[in-house]
Amino acid sequence: MERSLIAFSGTGVKEDDYTNCFQKISSQNSSPKIIIFFSDYQDLWYYAKQLKEDFPEATSIGCSTCMNFSTEGYSEKGLSAMAIYNNVECSSGLLYEVSRHPKNYCRHINEALKSLNSTDNTICLEFTTSGSRCEELVLDTFEEILLGTDIKVAGSTAGSNKNIRTSAVALNGDIYIESCAFIFIHNLSGKIHLYRENLFRPTSHVLLTTDVDCENLRVYEYDNKPAAKVLCELLHVDRENLLETLKLNPIGRIEGNNILISEAAQIMDDDSIVYYSRLYNQTRVVLLEQDNYDSVWDETQNAIKKMTDKPSFSIAVHCYSRKVMLEEQSRFDDFSKRLITTLGKYIGVCGFGEQIMFNNLNQSLVLIIFE
């Protein structure tokens, strides 16, 4: 029996897509322990319900996505699922009121932890609904409980189809909004590795954030000057074209040797800029530019090989904006093929934010690799 397998169907007819995936998941004549699944927002409820009815012994967790992509293919409609059959232990839970008071549900995290026999080689995989600027609040909640442990944290802000900003998460047959679904996965066969990939490199333009509204993800000033004016001057563009230009020249938060990307969401009338992930006051950031994709993908491949010779299975967390950028530049096929070569058996979610440890990112790729 295989340890895990990937099921994918993208016809856009939910009954057919589920039947195709069900046949593959049930082909092992054994119930999976975990099913991780992604689908378009409109049909998530159907897949969640069917998976729980047909595999009641499995913990089933997932979210809506802008695109399904996996070892088996990719599409904007349909269902993709990863079934894990053995050598894992898991426990799961939910955080509610994520845009206001997720810390009220810390006991749900503690209860899930208590049901594990061990937290060695364990990850907290989380999926959070989008649109309410809640990711940092959710990550702060996990940090309060998990900081100081060896448990890794990674996940995605749920995505949705084009022109639909509503998203949902799923756990054990039900779907939820304004919530975070999480699962602790203890790998009994080896380590779990995290890797973050950027398709952008730093320029020489390093700035200091000097006036920030953290709660509303809004930067008023860089280097004591209006934020939009500073970036217009550096990029040699007028204000009307700044937002579009920032898609290829985003801001990176400098944290040690890491660069964590924040994507601009709005240019405001007062020349402040609203971002999709939080920037902090009096911190250094750097203006970024596109890197050479093939060189980046070579670096990712080499890094994963150093981590583990042969991944057992992997989860890829991809940003919607990065997906659009690769499609516009006719490089998404190349990206997909590279992932297959690098990861082997994998499933991917495409959402509106990426989380790695206690950081919320944009325009990035986060890889979760199980030995």
Q: What is the pLDDT of residues 274-319, one digit of tens each?
A: 999 999 999 999 999 999 999 999 999 999 999 998 899 999 999 9
Type of residue at 163:
N
pLDDT band with cut points at 50, 70 and 90 for residue 69: very high
Statement: residue 131 has pLDDT above 80: no
List of residues 6+ apart from 125 with CB closer than 8 A: 36, 61, 154, 155, 182, 183, 184, 185, 315, 368
Statement: residue 198 has pLDDT above 80: yes
What's the predicted TM-score (pTM) here?
Answer: 0.96
Per-residue confidence (pLDDT) for residue 268, from 0 to 100 = 97
The encoded tokens of residue 296 equal: 């980046």
Backbone angles phi, psi at 27, to 5 degrees: -70, -15
CA distance 61 to 221: 41
pLDDT band with cut points at 50, 70 and 90 for residue 29: confident
Task: Report whether 63 contacts 127 (CB < 8 A).
Answer: yes
Type of residue at 79:
L
Type of residue at 27:
S
CA distance 246 to 232: 10
Backbone angles phi, psi at 248, to 5 degrees: -105, -5
CA distance 124 to 138: 12
Statement: residue 132 has pLDDT above 80: no
Question: In terms of Cα–Cα distance, which of 321, 313, 276, 348 is closest to 62?
Answer: 348
Task: Report whether 6 contacts 71 (CB < 8 A).
Answer: yes
Per-residue confidence (pLDDT) for residue 366, from 0 to 100 = 98
List of residues 6+ apart from 362 with CB closer than 8 A: 250, 261, 262, 263, 275, 276, 277, 319, 321, 353, 354
CB atoms within 10 A of CB 69: 27
Per-residue confidence (pLDDT) for residue 162, from 0 to 100 = 67
74-97 per-position pLDDT tens digit? 999 999 999 999 999 999 999 999
237-284 per-position pLDDT tens digit? 999 999 999 999 999 999 988 999 999 999 999 999 999 999 999 999
